[in-house]
Amino acid sequence: VIALIVGPSSTSIVTNGWTQARRLHAYYTVQWARREKTNAALTRVEELMRWKEVSADPVLDISASLVENAPDDLGRWKKLVSTLGPVGTECNCSARVNGKQCTLCKRLRKGLCM
C-alpha cells in the first residue's frame, strides 16, 4: 500500500529488496547445507536450484560431500550422478564424414555422443 501512495519508483525499490532478500536466503541456505551435510539439506538446496535461485555447483558440492561421508550409500551416488546430468546426447551425425572421423562430437556408442 505504501508503494502505491509514494509512486512507481518505490515499486522498483520493493522489487530489488525482495530480490536481495531471496539471494541472501539462498546464500545462507547453501552455507547451512554445507555445514549440515544431510539429505534434508541437499533436498533444500535442490529446491533452490529448481527455482533458479542457485546454480548446480552447490548441489554438486554438497552431493560430493555426502558421498565422501558415506561412500557405500548407493542412494547418495545416484543423487550425485543425477545432478551431473546425462553423459552423452543423441547423435545424428554419421561416424565418418567423407571417410574421416566426425569432429563435431565424440561418439560413445552408436547414436550417442559427447
pLDDT in tens, 31-78: 999 999 999 999 999 999 999 999 999 999 999 999 999 999 999 998
**pLDDT recorded at residue 1:** 47
Rounded CA-CA distance 82/76 in Å is 10
Q: Which residue has the cell 541456505?
A: 29
Task: Assign 113 a pLDDT band (cuts: 50, 70, 90).
Answer: low
- Partners of 100 in the β-ladder: 97
**72 or 13: whose pLDDT is higher?**
72
pTM: 0.64
Instruction: Quote the cell numbers at residue 93.
Output: 551425425
51 with 43: CB under 8 angstroms?
no
Query: Which amino acid appears at position 105 of this protein?
Result: C
